[in-house]
Amino acid sequence: MSLTVIGSGVGGTATAHFLRQHFGPDLQIDVFEKGSVGGRLATVTVNNQDYESGGSVIHSLNLHMQDFVKQIGLKYRRNVAGKTAVFNGKQIILEETDWYLLDLFRLWWRYGFSFIRLQMWVEETMEKFMRIYKYQAHGYAFSSVEQLLHSLGGGTFINMTRHTLSESLLELGVSQRFIDEVIAAVMRANYGQSVSVPAFVGAVSLAGAQTNLWAVEGGNKLVCSGLLTLAKANLIQAKVTTVSLHKTADTIQYKLDFEAPKERGSELYDIVIVAAPLQNGMANITFENFDPPIPEMSGSYHHTVASIVHGYLNSTYFGFPDPKLFPFASICTVVDDDLFFNTVGNVCPVNVSTEFKRKQPQDAAVWKVFSQQPLEKKDLKTLFKSYYSVQVTDWQAYPEYGSTDKIPPIILHDNMYYLNGIEWAASAMEMSSVAAKNLALLAYHRWNQQTDMIDQKELMHKIKTEL
Ligand SMILES: Cc1cc2nc3c(=O)[nH]c(=O)nc-3n(C[C@H](O)[C@H](O)[C@H](O)COP(=O)(O)OP(=O)(O)OC[C@H]3O[C@@H](n4cnc5c(N)ncnc54)[C@H](O)[C@@H]3O)c2cc1C
Ligand SMILES: CC(C)=CCC/C(C)=C/CC/C(C)=C/CSC[C@H](N)C(=O)O
């Protein structure tokens, strides 16, 4: 039999790796990539050092990512601590200090118990989310994102995809002021969006703002090339243009047409995994001969522009005329029509970890600015006194949450599957990895007609009573 994966981001390469584990060593796994291996995991080079321009941080409880790093033989790079402040376009409204207890006291003074309530909610969500690792280790798969979420957190998790973050937090007793000043800043930092995103992605974003984060030494994209090697996959550098159903009297196969810069080709496969977003013609794949047709994916992706700037930050803009007194490594912002950026943060090169020393604020350093539009010259002049270089990556970054209320299907056809629907619950490296394991299990069980391993209810109980 023959298997193929379209897309070599972390989702596609993790799928190839898990397909190899489940289907065994003998068959060929082709992986198509139209751009660079890694997809939304990428680096840019400044002064001979590489910096993450896409997916950058990984949570300490993201167990698939941890496992990949170990199996490939890569090293962890811990997030280097630095103080953060929230800026409202006119002044700093909240700032971290060197004293944790003082920070806690200030939070309590300004927002009451909102901070503690929020922490408990995020911890509870993470704890339930982590059930997936047990289910997947026991081989269980889910045929839809909704079934997967329901198995982890029941109706609560499903509701968290249907209600906004602000509604859910207000219900918990978190204050409006805390939502406007802190949660809004985190959402702008991590998904470039507002507190109107669904509560589930809100919780993931808040987990991504905790302190226990790490990255991969050398760059997160090394996970993708490493997974391709582990999977002994055959990488084909070409753009898949068409997938058409190819039926004979006793077989169903899928014909992929593809284009490389200098050649075109086509190939037949028994199982196809689409591991690239299908919205807005992003993957630009035409599906032919399917009856009923493969549904159009509704919704759109959010533009996030990452500008890596090497220069001198204009600390005066943030109310610090003397740069030596500017104490922050990153500045988040709250919603303001005049604000042209979401965050600006001093970044660490991908190959430097513990010994990384942040530059003095008056020295030239490398900064990452996230904005929704490319920065204009006047924006750069506002944020920086002067700069040596600017490197811009305009990402179709993650779903525009709220642009549709439908979570895309996983099963597109008998043996054709879609990975990126999970991003509509939340987009993150670990979410694509969880989806990858689920797809490999689902494809395997459906191929072997093991229906008792798919969409089982009461899984916690089942696992506890399994021999
Ligand atoms: C700026 C930014 C910051 C982020 N920060 C974080 C973070 O800190 N932590 C975190 O966990 N997540 C973060 N994310 C999200 C994370 O990067 C993504 O969720 C994840 O990388 C998605 O991986 P994927 O494999 O599902 O998709 P992709 O990485 O998009 O991979 C899809 C691949 O398919 C290829 N492709 C598309 N169409 C075709 C075709 N027709 N033929 C062949 N190949 C095709 C593409 O070229 C691409 O390489 C961030 C994303 C962005 C953009
Ligand atoms: C999937 C689970 C349970 C946790 C993942 C938590 C996590 C690491 C979320 C990050 C989400 C995200 C899209 C962040 C984007 S921007 C990140 C950062 N601000 C940057 O500078 O790149």
Q: Is the pLDDT of residue 466 over 90?
A: no
Over residues 62-81, the pLDDT tens digits come to 999 999 999 999 999 987 87
Mean pLDDT, residues 412-438:
98
Number of Cβ within 10 Å of residue 284's Cβ equals 12
In a mutational test of the pocket of ligand 1, which residue from 205, 330, 350, 429 has the highest number of ligand atoms less than 8 Å from its CB?
Answer: 429
How far, in Å, from the CA of 325 to the mean position of ligand 2?
Answer: 29
Instruction: State if residue 56 touches ligand 1 by the CB under 6 angstroms criterion.
Output: yes
Ligand that comes closest to the CA of residue 396: 1
d(CA 270, CA 249): 15
Which amino acid residue places its CA nearest to atom 4 of ligand 2? 204
pLDDT at res. 238: 98
Helices (H), 282-356: none
Ligand that comes closest to the CA of residue 224: 1
Q: Is the pLDDT of residue 357 over 90?
A: no
Ligand that comes closest to the CA of residue 37: 1
Buried b (16+ CB within 10 A) or exposed e, 312-329: bbbbebbebeebeebebb
Over residues 276-293, the pLDDT tens digits come to 999 989 999 999 999 999
pLDDT at res. 355: 64
Beta strands in 260-324 (DSSP E): 264-269, 271-274, 286-288, 301-313
- SS3 at position 315: helix
Which amino acid residue places its CA nearest to atom 6 of ligand 2? 208
Over residues 141-167, the pLDDT tens digits come to 999 999 999 999 999 999 999 999 999
Evaluate if pTM is beyond 0.95. Answer: yes
Which amino acid residue places its CA nearest to atom 20 of ligand 1? 429
Which ipTM value was assigned to this complex?
0.98
Ligand that comes closest to the CA of residue 59: 2
According to DSSP, the β-strands at 301-313 and 411-413 are unpaired
Mean pLDDT, residues 365-372:
97
For residue 332, list its beta bridge partners.
Answer: 86, 343
List the one residue out of 43, 22, 9 whose CA is nearest residue 366: 43
d(CA 407, CA 148): 12
Which amino acid residue places its CA nearest to atom 9 of ligand 2? 208
Over residues 72-113, the pLDDT tens digits come to 999 999 878 789 999 999 999 999 888 888 888 888 888 999
DSSP class of 431: H
In a mutational test of the pocket of ligand 1, which residue from 4, 33, 40, 224 has the highest number of ligand atoms less than 8 Å from its CB?
Answer: 40
d(CA 321, CA 315): 6
Number of Cβ within 10 Å of residue 24's Cβ equals 8
Which amino acid residue places its CA nearest to atom 12 of ligand 1? 428
Number of Cβ within 10 Å of residue 78's Cβ equals 15
Rounded to the nearest 5°, which phi and psi values hold at 184? -60, -40
Instruction: State if residue 175 touches ligand 1 by the CB under 6 angstroms criterion.
Output: no
Q: Is the pLDDT of residue 467 over 70?
A: no
Close Cβ partners of 245 (under 8 Å, ≥ 6 residues apart) = 252, 254, 255, 288, 289, 290, 413
